[in-house]
Amino acid sequence: MESLPQTDAPAKAEAEGEAALEPLLHFVSRLRANEPNVRCQVPEGPLSPMARALNQLASELDARRSSPAPEQFGLQALVEHASNLMLTCDAEARVRYINYAVPGLTRDMIRGRSVYDFVSPQDLERVRGLYQKVLTTGESVEFETQVSSEAGGGYFRTRAAPIRSGAQITGFTAITTEITDLKKAQLGLEHSLRKLEQSNRELESFASVASHDLQEPLRKIQSFGERLKAMTEGTLAPEARDYLERMQSAAARMRRLIDDLLTFSRVSAQAKPFTTVNLSQVAQEVLGDLEVAIEQAAAAVTVGPLPTLKADPMQMRQLLQNLLSNALKFRQDGVAPRLFVEATVDTAARQCEIRVRDNGIGFDEKYLDRLFNLFQRLHGQSKYAGTGIGLAICRKIVERHGGTLTARSAPGQGATFLITLPLEQHPSL
């Protein structure tokens, strides 16, 4: 009996494997060509796990293609378009990377050069020492510097930090922010402050002269005038006696004027530190000082609750005394003066408003701008004596405390002076 031919099992398996491998190889070639949405039909048999893995890879690659490109939205774009100038330097301070060009210089013109080439000569040694500190200690530093004229000559604030490779410091980064406009404003402010300090010194010098050199001749005029008046009692002609009294009166006015100018100059020149001041207590002390003037004017003064704040106690006393004296002086004929001192506190804004109100002669508010200036008088010397400095002193005191001073009034309707003051003071004041 003739036997049937037997199947070659290994050969058959090899043929089936080659048949299954062919579509996988075709799929890989399409994957390499970056064809979108390419997928492999999963065959049965030992190659099926590979087919599933390739399909998974195809899905991931497709997802990457649909996501934003790293070079467009990644760290590189962030660095390239940053407003800060960023650069890296090696241990020899040569520029290895810079994120954008500077006016007049391309990045290729900067890379490879020493960072010190772009530092102004007057800052070179200081900046060199700071970068060396970063390289030797590994500490970050911040500093301001002016760049060289080649790089534009502006002012920059720089933060430098070390670059490490393991435990070794191989260079440093420098992130800079241009502060040219800010620096120019700062330099201008410093110049103004120096001029102000010089002006204050000149004012102090004037105060010294006013307190001695100018007052000494006046004291002699008054002293000899009193002697002459006593020696010629009953012998001088009426006209001569009138001349003598006018001379004495003019000398007294001049002395008051010098005293008031001296007081005005000392508001800032000899100011005291701010302490906690109870304005109610200050007001009572002022009323005690003005007791005689209040009685002579038959005035009634009402003082409401006043706040406690940080201030110069002597200047607060001077402020209230000047305003109350002013109210007593400019009273209406035949009308008993009525004065009120009151206040409100804005706790949210941390400030208070103090009002000094009277029923005096008042003034036209069109003269308000003149009211607080030196030597400005709205009424004649013959009826209302004074130097025209008292309210200027008040305004200077209020401004020194970071507040404001104004007034409301109408002719014949009295006046209200409004003072706004912070309850607390900035440490620099």
pLDDT tens-place string over residues 181-219: 888 888 888 888 888 878 777 776 766 666 666 777 778
Compute the distance between CA of residue 262 and CA of residue 208 in angstroms, rounded to an integer: 8
**pLDDT above 80: residue 127:** yes
pLDDT score of 35 more than 90: no
Cβ pair 406, 368 in contact under 8 A:
yes
Residue 369, C-beta contacts closer than 8 angstroms, at least 6 positions apart: none
Question: Residue for token digits 């302490």?
Answer: 275
Instruction: Answer for the pair 31, 57: CB distance below 8 angstroms, yes or no.
Output: yes
Provide the pLDDT for residue 319: 92
Token readout for 387 is 């130097």
Predicted pLDDT of residue 70: 53
Distances, alpha carbon 209 to alpha carbons 13, 202, 332, in Å: 120, 10, 39
Specify the residue for token string 């003051």.
421
**H or E element at residue 404:** strand 404-409
Where are the alpha helices (H) located in 115-237, listed in sequence order?
A: 124-137, 180-211, 215-231
Token readout for 391 is 């309210």
Q: Is the pLDDT assigned to residue 271 strictly greater than 90?
A: no
Residue type, 307: P
Q: What does the pLDDT read at residue 280? A: 94
- In 244-323, the DSSP E strands lie at 275-278, 300-303, 308-311
Evaluate if residue 380 carries a pLDDT over 50. Answer: no
Superfamily of domain covering 75-178:
PAS domain (3.30.450.20)
Query: By percentage, how much of the chain surpasses pLDDT 70?
Result: 76
- 69 has a pLDDT exceeding 60: no
Counting residues of the chain whose pLDDT is more than 90, the rounded percentage is 28
> At 108, which helix (H) or strand (E)?
helix 107-110
* Chain segment 150-173, per-residue pLDDT in tens: 766 788 899 999 999 988 999 999
From the number of C-beta atoms within 10 Å of its C-beta (0-12, 13-18, 19+), residue 327 rates as: buried
Q: What is the pLDDT of residue 158?
A: 92
Comparing CA positions, the residue from 297, 295, 301, 312 lying closest to residue 399 is 312
| DSSP 3-state percent helix, strand, coil across the chain (nearest 5) | 50, 20, 30
Average pLDDT score, the chain: 80
Q: What is the DSSP string of 330-395?
A: TPPTTS--EEEEEEEEETTTTEEEEEEEE-S----GGGHHHHTSTT--SS-TTTS---S-HHHHHH
How high is the pLDDT of residue 71? Answer: 57
> pLDDT at residue 63 above 80?
no
- Statement: residue 21 has pLDDT above 80: no
Q: With beta carbons less than 8 A apart as the criterion, state whether 300 and 338 touch.
A: yes
Distance CA 326, CA 378 (A): 13
Mean of the pLDDT values across residues 301-315? Answer: 92
pLDDT bracket for residue 4 (50, 70, 90): very low
Residue 345: per-residue pLDDT: 93
What is the arithmetic mean of pLDDT over 138-146? 91
Q: How many CA atoms lie within 13 A of 181 on its CB side?
A: 0
Higher pLDDT, 201 or 94: 94
**315, 268 Cβ separation under 8 angstroms:** no
**Statement: residue 6 has pLDDT above 60:** no
- Look up tokens 């800010």; give the residue: 182
Which CATH code for domain 272-422? 3.30.565.10
